[in-house]
Chain A
Amino acid sequence: MTTTATNELFQTEKEELISGSEAIALACALADVDVITAYPIRPYDTVMQYVSKLKADGSFDCDFIVAESEHSQFEIVKHASSVGARTFTGSSGVGWFYAFEAITVTAGLRLPVVAMVGNRALDDPGAFGVEHNDALAVRDLGWMLYWVATAQEALDIALLAWRVAEDPTVFLPFAVSCDGSFLTHSQAIVNVPTSEQVNKFLPPYDRGKLQLHPDNPITIAPQVNEDWLMEMRRQSDEAMHRSVGVIKKAYEEFKEIFGRGDPSPFVEEYMTEDADIIIVGMGTLALPVRVAVRRFQEAGRKIGFVRVKFFRPFPTEELQEILTKCKAVCVVDRDYSYGAPSYGGVLFTELRSALYPMEKRPLMLNFIAGLGGREVHVNDVNDMVDIVQKAIETGIIEQEATWIGVRDN
Chain B
Amino acid sequence: MSTVAVEVVYRGIFQRTLARNIVRSIVFAARKEGKIGTAFGRYGDSPERNGIPAKQFAVVADDAEELEEVLARYEPTEVDVTINVDDTMCKGIESWAWYGLQPINQLTKPNGTLIVTSRQDADSLVEDIHQKDTPFDLSIIKSTVSFSGLWVYKDDHTDARILGTLCNVCPQLFSIDSMLQALDEQGNGETKLASAQKAYDVATIRTVEPGEGNSEVPYKFELLGWQTMEEGLVIRAQGKGGGFRGGDEGFQPDRNEVFKKYSTRSMRPVINFETCIKCTLCWLQCPDTCFDITPDGLYDANMESCCGCGVCEAVCPVPDCVTMVSEADFNDNSSQWEAWQEDKPSYQQWMTALVDKQKAETRTHGFHHVGGYTEEIAASEDA
Q: Is the CB of B27 within 8 A of A17?
A: yes
The 0/1 profile, CB within 8 Å of B marked 1, for residues 16-35 of chain A is 01010000000000000000
CB distance from A230 to the nearest CB of B (A): 42
Q: Is the CB of B72 within 8 A of A378?
A: yes
Q: Which residues of B contact A17 (CB under 8 A)?
A: 24, 27-28, 31, 39
Partner pick for A407 among B27, B36, B37, B225, CB 8 A cutoff: B225
Partner pick for B24 among A182, A187, A291, CB 8 A cutoff: A187
B318 touches A (CB below 8 Å) = no
The 0/1 profile, CB within 8 Å of A marked 1, for residues 38-49 of chain B is 111101101100
Partner pick for A185 among B40, B69, B72, CB 8 A cutoff: B40
CB distance from A129 to the nearest CB of B (A): 7
Q: Which residues of B contact A378 (CB under 8 A)?
A: 72-73
- Of the listed stretches B226-234, B279-287, B355-363, name the one at the interface; the rest are far from the partner chain: B226-234
Q: Which of A290-319 contact B (CB under 8 A)?
A: 290-292, 294
Interface size on B, as a range, is 20 to 34
- Who on chain A is nearest to B20 by CB? A187
Q: Which residues of A contact B40 (CB under 8 A)?
A: 19, 185-187
CB distance from A66 to the nearest CB of B (A): 18
Q: Which residues of A contact B69 (CB under 8 A)?
A: 291
- Who on chain B is nearest to A181 by CB? B43
B74 touches A (CB below 8 Å) = yes
Partner pick for B224 among A19, A186, A409, CB 8 A cutoff: A409
Q: Is the CB of B68 within 8 A of A407?
A: no
Q: Is the CB of A407 within 8 A of B72?
A: no
A378 to B223, CA, bound (A): 22
A337 to B228, CA, bound (A): 23
CB distance from A332 to the nearest CB of B (A): 14
B71 touches A (CB below 8 Å) = yes
Q: Is the CB of B226 within 8 A of A189?
A: no
Partner pick for A187 among B39, B43, B46, B233, CB 8 A cutoff: B39
Q: Is the CB of B227 within 8 A of A408?
A: yes
Q: Is the CB of B31 within 8 A of A189?
A: yes
Q: Is the CB of B38 within 8 A of A187?
A: yes
- Who on chain A is nearest to B74 by CB? A375
Q: Is the CB of A288 within 8 A of B73?
A: yes
Q: Which of A370-403 contact B (CB under 8 A)?
A: 373, 375, 377-378
A232 touches B (CB below 8 Å) = no
A287 to B66, CA, bound (A): 12
Q: Which residues of B contact A182 (CB under 8 A)?
A: 43, 74
CB distance from A284 to the nearest CB of B (A): 9
A188 to B37, CA, bound (A): 7
**A-B residue pairs, 5 tightest by C-beta:** A409-B225, A181-B43, A407-B225, A186-B40, A291-B72
B residues lining the A interface (CB < 8 Å): 24, 27-28, 31, 36-41, 43-44, 46-47, 65, 68-69, 71-75, 223-228, 233
A182-B74, A291-B72 provided; 8 other pairs, C-beta below 8 A? Answer: A15-B31, A17-B31, A124-B233, A189-B36, A287-B72, A291-B69, A378-B73, A409-B224
- Sample 30 A-B pairs with CB under 8 A, ordered by A number: A17-B24, A17-B31, A19-B40, A124-B233, A180-B43, A181-B43, A181-B74, A182-B43, A186-B39, A186-B74, A187-B38, A189-B36, A189-B37, A189-B38, A287-B72, A288-B72, A290-B72, A291-B68, A292-B72, A373-B43, A375-B74, A377-B72, A377-B73, A378-B72, A378-B73, A406-B225, A407-B223, A407-B226, A408-B227, A409-B227
